[in-house]
Structure 1
Amino acid sequence: MLLLCFCSETWGRGPKDLEQNPAVQRFRTYLRIPTVHPESDYAPAIEFLQGQAKEIGLPTKIFEFVPKKPILLMTWKGSSKEKLQSVILNSHMDVVTVEEDKWKYPPFEAYMDEDGDIYARGSQDMKVVGMMYLEAIRILKAKGWAPVRDIHVLWVPDEELAGLDGWGKFYLSKEFDELNAGVVLDEGHISYNNSYIVNNEEKAVWWLIIQATGETGHGSLYFDNSASENMFKSFASINAFRDSQMSLVRSGEKPLEEVVVINSVFLKSGSPTPDGFTMNIQPSFVEAGFDLRIPPVKEMGHFMNKIIEEEWAPKGRNMSCYFKVKTEDETGEIPSTTADDTNPWWSLMEKAVSKFNATVSAERANGASDSRYARMRGVSAFGLTAIQNVPFLIHSHNERMNGYEFLRGISVTTEVVNLYGSFSGYTKSNKAVL
Structure 2
Amino acid sequence: MAVASLLWTLFLFSIIFSLQSSSSSSSDTPITRFQQYLRFNTAHPNPNYTAPVSFLINQAQSIGLTAKTIEFVSGKPILLLTWLGSNPNLPSILFNSHLDSVPAESEKWIHPPFSAHKTNDGHIYARGAQDDKCIGVQYLESIRNLKSRGFVPLRTIHISYVPEEEIGGFDGMMEFAASSEFRDLNLGFAMDEGQANPGDEFRVFYADRIPWNLVIKAEGIPGHGAKLYDNSAMENLMKSVELISKFRESQFDFVKAGKAANSEVISVNPVYLKAGTPSTTGFVMNMQPSEAEAGYDLRLPPMADPDVMKKRIAEEWAPSIRNLTYTIIEKGKLRDHLGRPIMTPANDSNPWWSIFKQAVEATGGKLAKPEILASTTDSRFLRTLGIPVFGFSPMTNTPILLHDHNEFLKDTVFMKGIEVYESVISALSSFEGVSDQVI
Is the shorter-chain TM-score for this pair beyond 0.5, marking a shared fold? yes
**Residue pair 1:296, 1:333 contacting (<8 A) in 2 also:** no
Residues 193-221 of structure 1: CA distance to partner in whole angstroms, max 9, x if unpaired? 44322111222222222223334456565
SS at match of 2:327: strand
SS at match of 1:179: coil
**Residue pair 1:191, 1:388 contacting (<8 A) in 2 also:** yes
Higher Rg of the two aligned structures: 2
Residue in 1 that maps onto 2:12 = none
Residue in 2 that maps onto 1:41 = 48
1:176 deviates by 1.0
1:159 deviates by 1.5
Counterpart code for 1:362? P
Q: Find the aligned partners of 1:375 and 1:292 in 2 and give their Cα distance.
A: 20
TM-score w.r.t. the length of structure 2 is 0.86
Q: Find the aligned partners of 1:23 and 1:83 in 2 and give their Cα distance.
A: 32
Alignment of 1:162-177 (within 5 A): 162-177=168-183
Cα 1:283/1:374, change in 2 over 3 Å? same
| From 397, 401, 404, the counterpart of 2:412 | 404
SS at match of 2:204: strand
Say yes or no: does 1:413 pair with 2:421. yes
**Residue pair 1:297, 1:333 contacting (<8 A) in 2 also:** no
Residue in 2 that maps onto 1:190 = 196
Q: Find the aligned partners of 2:106 and 2:400 in 1 and give their Cα distance.
A: 19
TM-score w.r.t. the length of structure 1 is 0.87
Residue in 1 that maps onto 2:320 = 315
**Residue pair 1:162, 1:325 contacting (<8 A) in 2 also:** no
Alignment of 1:341-420 (within 5 A): 341-360=348-367, 361-420=369-428
SS at match of 1:197: coil
| From 324, 327, 336, the counterpart of 2:343 | 336
Select between 111-120 and 382-391 the one with higher mean Cα deviation.
111-120
Residue in 1 that maps onto 2:120 = 114
Residue in 2 that maps onto 1:24 = 31
1:83 deviates by 0.9
1:112 deviates by 2.0
Counterpart code for 2:393? T
Cα 1:393/1:192, change in 2 over 3 Å? closer
Q: Find the aligned partners of 2:352 and 2:171 in 1 and give their Cα distance.
A: 28
SS at match of 2:377: coil
Residue in 2 that maps onto 1:302 = 307
Q: Find the aligned partners of 2:100 and 2:280 in 1 and give their Cα distance.
A: 33
Cα 1:405/1:192, change in 2 over 3 Å? same
| From 136, 140, 153, the counterpart of 1:130 | 136
Q: Find the aligned partners of 1:408 and 1:322 in 2 and give their Cα distance.
A: 46
Select between 223-232 and 117-126 the one with higher mean Cα deviation.
223-232
Counterpart code for 1:38? P
| RMSD, aligned CA | 2.4
Q: Find the aligned partners of 1:28 and 1:270 in 2 and give their Cα distance.
A: 50
1:356 deviates by 2.0
Counterpart code for 1:401? L
Cα 1:148/1:242, change in 2 over 3 Å? same
Counterpart code for 1:376? T
Residues 201-256 of structure 1: CA distance to partner in whole angstroms, max 9, x if unpaired? 22222222222333445656555433333332222222221122212211223222
Counterpart code for 1:385? S
| From 313, 316, 332, the counterpart of 1:327 | 332
**Residue pair 1:87, 1:183 contacting (<8 A) in 2 also:** yes
Q: Find the aligned partners of 2:222 and 2:104 in 1 and give their Cα distance.
A: 37
**Residue pair 2:70, 2:78 contacting (<8 A) in 1 also:** yes
Q: Find the aligned partners of 1:152 and 1:274 in 2 and give their Cα distance.
A: 58
**Residue pair 2:198, 2:400 contacting (<8 A) in 1 also:** no
Cα 1:269/1:103, change in 2 over 3 Å? farther
Cα 1:215/1:65, change in 2 over 3 Å? farther
1:47 deviates by 2.3
Cα 1:211/1:256, change in 2 over 3 Å? same
Residue in 2 that maps onto 1:232 = 238
Residues 99-132 of structure 1: CA distance to partner in whole angstroms, max 9, x if unpaired? 3333222222222222211222211111111111
Q: Find the aligned partners of 1:333 and 1:279 in 2 and give their Cα distance.
A: 51
Select between 119-128 and 329-338 the one with higher mean Cα deviation.
329-338
Q: Find the aligned partners of 2:218 and 2:106 in 1 and give their Cα distance.
A: 35
Residue in 2 that maps onto 1:6 = none
